[in-house]
Structure 1
Amino acid sequence: MSKKILSALFGAGLAALTMSPAAFAADETLSDFHTEMGGCESCHDEGSPSADGAYEFEQCQSCHGGLDEMNDVHKPHDGNLMCADCHAPHDMNVGQEPTCDSCHDDDRTAASVLK
């Protein structure tokens, strides 16, 4: 293969990586990712956390939908938990998922519960 073709392929691959949000998101917290879309106000009223998290929960649902509308893992938690109870936005990275054993100590997994 000629050097020009190899260089073009390498450049195209590099361009695809830099354009992909997933290329950098893995090292970015959920809060940093959301801040890029509109500052702290994208989640917090006037940029400050609410005392009970209700405002932030409504903000999550306005973009991602309600727990009752999501996959089966979310539905049993509807009415019992808010998004930040499992998805700690200031501590978790983009793409990182909580596990059942974060709260449940009976060895359950999403696969075992959703049979």
Structure 2
Amino acid sequence: MLKVLGLSILLSFSGAAFAESIADTHTDMAGCEACHMDGEPSADMAYENQTCIDCHGGLDSIDGEIHQQHDGVLDCGTCHIVHEVQDPNDTCADCH
């Protein structure tokens, strides 16, 4: 019960933490090449997903039950729409 309550509170306030897109924050570090080979998106986004894993670790190594439950099932870009300012939790309804 407390776990559900805590998650509900976190989700209700988490949108305020996303003032700019993930792409904007990563572009500030190294331009488009921070995520894309030669600055261009790959056809299947596999390179970009691997780039996320190289920096942040795989879903199995990231704290939080939600990441670990989706290990081997989803790629990072499924929930983290990087070129939009959004809360990744908003994409849960697409599958659940």
Tell me the TM-score range normalised by the shorter chain: 0.7 to 0.9
CA offsets 1:28-56 (integer angstroms, 9 cap, x no match): 11111110010000000000001111100
Determine which structure has the larger helix proportion and give its number. Answer: 2
Quick check: 1:82 aligned with 2:70?
no
Structure 1 equivalent of residue 29 of structure 2: 37
How does 1:12-51 map onto structure 2 within 5 Å?
A: 26-51=18-43
TM-score by length of 2: 0.72
Structure 1 equivalent of residue 56 of structure 2: 64
Structure 2 equivalent of residue 91 of structure 1: 84
Gaps of 5+ in 1: 1-24, 105-115
Q: How big is the shift at 1:76?
A: 1.8
Where 1:31 maps in the other structure, the secondary structure is helix
Gaps of 5+ in 2: 1-16
Q: Max radius of gyration: which structure? A: 1
Where 2:66 maps in the other structure, the secondary structure is coil
Percent sequence identity over aligned pairs: 49
Task: Tell me whether 31-40 or 75-84 shows the greater mean CA deviation.
Answer: 75-84
2: distance between equivalents of 1:65 and 1:27?
24
Structure 1 equivalent of residue 44 of structure 2: 52
Structure 1 counterpart of 2:53, one-letter code: Q
Contact 2:36 2:48 in 1 (8 A): yes
Q: Which has the higher contact order (CA 8 A, sep 6+)?
A: 2
Structure 2 equivalent of residue 73 of structure 1: 66
Following superposition, which runs of at least 4 residues in structure 1 exceed 4 angstroms of deviation?
none
Number of aligned residues? 78
Structure 2 equivalent of residue 8 of structure 1: none
| CA RMSD, 1 decimal | 1.6
